[in-house]
Structure 1
Amino acid sequence: MAKVKLTAGRIENFQCATGKAQAFLWCAEVHGLAVRATAGSTRKRYIFESKVKGKTMRLTIGEVNIWSIDAAQIEARRLQILIDQGKDPREVKANEEAAKEAEKLAKEKEAAALFIQNVRESVTVAEAWDAYIKERSASIKDGKPEWGDRHKAHHAYFVKAGGVKRKRGRRPNESETTRPGMLVPFMSMRLIDLDVNTVSAWLKNEVAQAPTSAAKAFRFLRAFITWCAKNDDYSAIVHSDACHTESIKRLVPAPRTKKNDSLRRAQIRPWFEAVKNINNPVISAYLQSLLLTGARRNELASLQWQDVDFKWKSMTIRDKVEGLRVIPLTPYVEHLIAELPRRNEFVFSSPSAASGRLEEPRNPHNKALTVAALPALSLHGLRRSFGTLSEWVEVPAGIVAQIMGHKPSAIAEKHYIQRELDLLHLWHVKIEQWILQEAGIKIVPNQAGLHEVQL
């Protein structure tokens, strides 16, 4: 192959000979460098040809109208140096391109991650809270929803916007409109900003105003943050320790039982006398039944006629913990219930309430306490009274707990003792009889059923 010094004129005049597919103009100064021309084309390219591992290799450097002679020579020398070093220029080029592509992908991935992080960091507490409520409300365990309607309502209460005009009487110094829920201040914040300092400042303010409600709101907030920490969408931006540091725990008021929030033995008779004189027979029967069954206020208020079995003397209570529990229908409670009007499906019905059942019996109860000259007593205090007064009859603790719907605490209670309804009925009747005896009420049978005799 004849070699010449490459010049612009020689390259310009170089053509592929007729009858040949391609022709090469080889450089006399740099080994392996040539100009390649092909038949039927005016395009010419610099190429480099050499042997790599005993085999001929040819690479295209570039167009002659783009690459200068000097640049093409430099590139050819570079390729030869790689070969002299035992490297294949094709592999080197492929590796370089792969590295560039990997770098490009890494930058794109980094940019995407940064974008996602920015999006995540912009997530508000309200957005995460809505996802939390939706997921937990739909959760099913052992074939039943994990959250009941009341539990959902409590969560909704703490994030209500407030500002609604109060329909009922106000307490002293209370505003005409409802205040925002305790967790509302967090809702507009970014989730990433909800940290220990934020929670601490909030707790100090709320505990000073309403310690019991603040403690409950805190427990809801803590459960929410724990959920976020376990959720892939929020775990990277939530401060999982926001509610778990020792400094925070010291700010949370400990749960306290109301002192003296139960009836004493000497107070039973005046309480019954006042409650039985309440003009509304449904409220009167409800309050007495609340004391004599030890049920939770909403469990009893939601009792339906289909839940009362007059034949087998039982009532099915919609337990807020276990779902359902069956308790005895004692004689006096049966007497109270049987006398009530059957307006709808609820035993303790209310034609004025939207739900159709008794909603708020506290005012009549408080008035009855005033008439009887008794100290303040909450509706939950009636449930507490049932457990306390039962000790006068020396009832086994497990019996009372099962009637009231308390979870068993001892191993034997949990796994071995399964009391039949008849056994519960035996003891429950004894409790009722003792309370009625203290109240001065006697139940005697007649042809129509039972009737009361005031002692």
Structure 2
Amino acid sequence: MAKQNFTADRVTNFKCVPGKQQTMYWDAKAPGLGLRVTATGARSYIFETRLDSKTLRVTIGDPRVWTLGKAQAEATRLKALTDQGIDPRRLREQQRASHEAEQAAAAAEALRGSVTLLDVWAVYVADRSAHWSEHHVSAHRKIIQAGGEPRKRSPKLTEPGPLATLANVPLVDLTTQRIEAWAKTEAQARPSSARLAIRLLKACLNWCAAHPTYSAIVTTNATKSSKVRETLGKPKLKHDLLQREQLAGWFEAVRRIGNPVISAYLQVLLLTGARREELANLRWVDVDFRWNSMRMKDKIEDFRLIPLTPYVANVLNALPRRNEWVFSSPGAASGRLAEPRIAHNQAVAAAGLPPLTLHGLRRSFATLSEWVETPAGIAAQIQGHAPQGVREQNYIRRPLDLLRKWHIKIEEWILNEAGVALCTQAGNLRLAV
């Protein structure tokens, strides 16, 4: 179609030729400027020229948005670009990419200055919770809590966690100097909690360094400072355990605890050497009274199978089956025993014994098992310790019956020293006279 001088009226009156899908009209003033009119009445300004021996066509826009003057100016601009060998389509893509990069950089800079440790901590815990135990998730929550919340079993309010003072610090400001100053303060009040906090924080910052969003913020891990380690010091070895001569007093006091679930839990904790949360998570489906075995969640492996010894079997069999948990607690939100320490501390005090932690009972099992000359590898396997040495790791595969042989010996020796006898005729447990 012949070119003609575009005017506003002509542009408005251009129609699609009958029988065609679209008709192109070309402007005689602005080189390459055209108007495309479709059979459905759609209209748009276009620019068309030759570039690199190929036809290049670019849509300018709707005439209702673009005035004729602006469309002619745009066509003139595009013609100037193509005369220089520049493809306006590629130039537009480059400009768009540059604009998006600028926006992304601005957003990253805004994020860099605004995201705090508390913000990223929540994302980190949510991402990793599926791989952690309930106890580990709870530890992460408590270590950074603001405090001031009511306690369940005490009129006192919760204390701020060791990381509470760093919670609202922007992640970018968690420098080595700030961490060192924090460590100096926390080491004076609660060094043990601070050591746990720094381990958890170190893992969090390592996660950030590999995260697509936070890796631009956390380029170095500020917790990796020798000064921080020196300030917080090394944990002291704990020596709390039950001596041979203390067993009678401990058993008598624990068996008198008013709550039978707590009483049973503490006795089984000593006689299995298990970790406190491993035993608290024991379900009835994990206890096999027929084949005398217990399936315990394990810190090293997914689970471990240990013997169900006679005394422990009797204790467990006497417990109420109120839900799925062996050590159930109707008043707890989880339905299982949550905090046996208070009752245990009271029993230890009533027996006139030195302070003894729940982990001290695990330490007691390991120590007392040597009285019956139990092979160290067997006691370690019952307790869920990682195999030590090449032989233990690669060659020793002990069947449950072998573990049971020694586990029963350990149990019988502890009960005998405690003055506790298993009355098999009546099927009850009693103190020996």
Task: Please tell me the TM-score bracket, short chain as reference.
Answer: 0.7 to 0.9
Post-superposition offset of 1:227: 1.0
Matched, 1:356 2:335: yes
| Cα distance change on mapping 1:42 and 1:163 into 2, 3 Å | closer
In 1, Cα distance between the equivalents of 2:429 and 2:221? 61
The corresponding residue for 1:250 is 230
Residue type of the partner of 1:405?
A: G
User: Which runs of 5 or more residues in structure 1 are unaligned?
Assistant: 1-40, 46-88, 138-144, 171-175
> Does the Cα contact within 8 Å between 2:202 and 2:221 map onto a contact in 1?
no
In the alignment, the residues of structure 2 paired with residue 315 and residue 96 of structure 1 have an alpha-carbon distance, to the nearest angstrom, of 74
Note the C-alpha offset of 1:213: 0.9
> 2 CA distance for matches of 1:388 and 1:90?
86
Q: How far did 1:102 drift? A: 11
Match of 1:131 among 118, 123, 148: 123
Equivalences for 1:67-146 in 2 at 5 Å?
Answer: 93-94=84-85, 108=99, 111-112=102-103, 114-122=105-113, 123-137=115-129, 145-146=130-131
Answering whether residue 217 of structure 2 is matched by residue 237 of structure 1, we say yes
Residue identity opposite 1:352 in structure 2:
G
CA contact (8 A) 2:82 2:88 kept: no
Distance 1:120 1:279 in 2: 55
What secondary structure, in the 3-state scheme, does the structure 1 residue paired with 2:141 have?
A: helix
2:322: which partner in 1?
343
**Residue pair 2:147, 2:159 contacting (<8 A) in 1 also:** yes
1:155 aligns with 2:136: no
How far apart are residue 110 of structure 1 and its match?
6.6
Listed one character per residue, the Cα deviations across residues 228-263 of structure 1 (whole Å, up to 9, x for unaligned) are: 11223222221423011222222233233323x101
Structure 1 residue 316 and structure 2 residue 308: aligned?
Answer: no
Correspondence 1:190 to 2:182: no
Q: Which residue identity does 1:135 align to in structure 2? A: D
Q: Secondary structure at the match of 1:94?
A: coil
Deviations 1:329-367 (A, max 9, x none): 111111212222223322222233332222222222222
| TM-score in terms of structure 2 length | 0.75
2:3 is matched with: none
Query: Does 2:401 align with 1:409?
Result: no
Deviations 1:415-444 (A, max 9, x none): 211111100000000001111111122224
User: Please, what is the CA RMSD of the aligned residues?
Assistant: 3.0
Query: Alpha-carbon deviation of 1:405?
Result: 0.9
Equivalent AA in structure 1 for residue 295 of structure 2:
T
Cα deviations across residues 29-55 of structure 1 (Å, max 9, x unaligned)? xxxxxxxxxxxx99799xxxxxxxxxx
User: Match of 2:386, SS?
Assistant: coil
Decide which structure has the larger Cα Rg and report it. Answer: 1
Is the Cα contact below 8 Å between 1:192 and 1:239 reproduced in 2?
no
1:299 maps onto 2:284 in alignment: no
Q: SS of the counterpart of 2:381?
A: helix
For 2:418, the equivalent position in structure 1 comes to 439
Amino acid at match of 2:120: A
Q: Is the 8 A contact 2:81 2:87 kept in 1?
A: no
Aligned to 2:49: none
Question: Structure 1's 97 and 363: CA in aligned 2 closer, same or farther, altered over 3 A?
Answer: closer
C-alpha change, 1:444 and 1:198, in structure 2 (3 Å) is: same
1:330 aligns with one of 309, 316, 341? 309
If the length of structure 1 is used for normalisation, what is the TM-score?
Answer: 0.71
Query: What is the CA-CA distance between 1:98 and the residue it aligns to?
Result: 12
- Alignment match, 1:386: 365
8 Å CA contact 1:444, 1:453 repeated in 2:
no
> 2-side partners of 1:127 and 1:177: how far apart?
24
Unaligned runs of 5+ in 2: 1-26, 32-79
The runs of 4+ residues in structure 1 deviating greater than 4 Å are 41-45, 89-92, 95-110
| 2:432 aligned with 1:454 | yes
Query: 1:95 Cα shift?
Result: 7.1
Aligned position for 1:275: 254
- In structure 2, C-alpha distance between the alignment counterparts of 1:183 and 1:194, rounded to whole Å: 12
Change in 2 beyond 3 A, CA 1:337/1:94: same
